[in-house]
Amino acid sequence: MSEFTDGTLSRYLDQQPGMRRKLIEDPVQCAQTELLRRTLAAMERAMVDEGVDEDAQRRIVNRVVWGDPDGLRDAYAEMRRREAELHRKLPWTNPRFGAGAVRPDEEPT
């Protein structure tokens, strides 16, 4: 894995509070991180084999990890924040929002 891709993965882990500790304590988190590392390494090797120039490789890695070609902002986190805000404002869009009270002629399930 190149220095850039390794640095991108490191920055991704560092922006999540407590992630380094979880990598030691949580086998699921460790496996997910290893899968991301392997995916990025395979993607990078494929781009080199296909002759993709270095600048395009960086933009592609940034888009995969951050959702932004420049890697300056976490577009995926922004989408999750907007979705959570929408669920707070419009409770009927929340998948946890139930149908409401049971009608008198229905039995509760």
- Give CA separation, 4 vs 44, 58, 60, in Å: 10, 8, 12
Q: What pLDDT, on the 0 to 100 scale, is given for residue 54? A: 92
Tens digits of residue pLDDT in 11-61: 888 888 888 888 889 999 899 989 999 999 999 999 999 999 999 999 999
Is the pLDDT at 100 greater than 80? The verdict is no
Is the pLDDT at 104 greater than 80? The verdict is no
Interacting residues of 52 by C-beta distance below 8 A, sequence separation 6+:
60
In 3D space, the residue among 83, 78, 57 whose CA is nearest the CA of residue 4 turns out to be 57
Q: What pLDDT, on the 0 to 100 scale, is given for residue 50? A: 96
Q: What pLDDT, on the 0 to 100 scale, is given for residue 105? A: 65
Q: What is the pTM of this model?
A: 0.62
Is the pLDDT at 102 greater than 60? The verdict is no
